[in-house]
Amino acid sequence: MAGEGACFMHCPPGWGLRPRDTGWYAAFGDLAQAQPGQVGYSRDGWRFMGATFDPSGLYRFNAVMRWLRDEGITPAIIHAHATALQQHFLRHVAEIPALAGARLVVPPDETRRGNFLTFETPEAQSLYAHLKRRNVITDVRGNRLRIGFGLYQTQGEVDELVRRLRTPM
């Protein structure tokens, strides 16, 4: 919900991977140790920093976190909402000919799942294109179509997704 520019990376102490590509910010943590002819890297996560830093994504992230806190919306509430939308969608999958032969990659009763459903089908690419033409944004990787469900979606919108999936390709 914070948009682009806000991400997290875990870099434990002592993990010394040297980035393949980086920007000039990567050396800030190692300026005192700089050696001629060698790119210096910070010993912590700063070694993955790019060029000029734009903090606007982090400002958005902080604003969203404050808003969610003030509204009493927790990750558990968001996940429960997304899971309810997933279950509503899955109740209608039998009505969607394009998903008739698809395999749900993670079973619906698996509690350790993200807020999306991934269908494995040889039709993944054409389904992705079909939905894109109908202004539905999904994710496709090879023969897997991923449909995400979030806090900002309603059961009515899931019904509309089912309707759009039912239209002939």
pLDDT per position as a tens digit, 3-19: 677 777 777 777 666 66
> Which of 110, 121, 61 is closest to 86 using CA atoms?
110
Confidence of residue 52 (pLDDT cuts 50, 70, 90): low
- The whole-angstrom separation of Cα 13 and Cα 11 is 7
Strands (DSSP E) contained in the chain are 103-104, 116-120, 139-141, 144-148
Query: What pTM did the predictor assign?
Result: 0.73
Q: What is the pLDDT of residue 152?
A: 92
Q: How far apart are CA 169 and CA 24, in angstroms?
A: 49
Among 52, 50, 42, 47, smallest CA distance to 23 is for: 50
Residue 62 is predicted with a pLDDT of 92
Question: Higher confidence at residue 34 or residue 79?
Answer: 79
Asked if 22 contacts 50 with a C-beta cutoff of 8 angstroms, the reply is yes
Residue bearing tokens 């894109």: 132
Question: pLDDT digits over 62-116, tens only?
Answer: 999 999 999 999 999 999 999 999 999 999 998 899 898 899 999 988 988 889 9
Burial of 161 (0-12, 13-18, 19+ CB in 10 A): buried
Radius of gyration over every alpha carbon of the chain, rounded to an integer in angstroms: 22
Domains located in the chain, CATH noted: 1-72 (no CATH), 75-166 (3.90.1150.10)
pLDDT tens, residue by residue, 118-150:
999 999 999 999 999 999 999 999 999 999 999
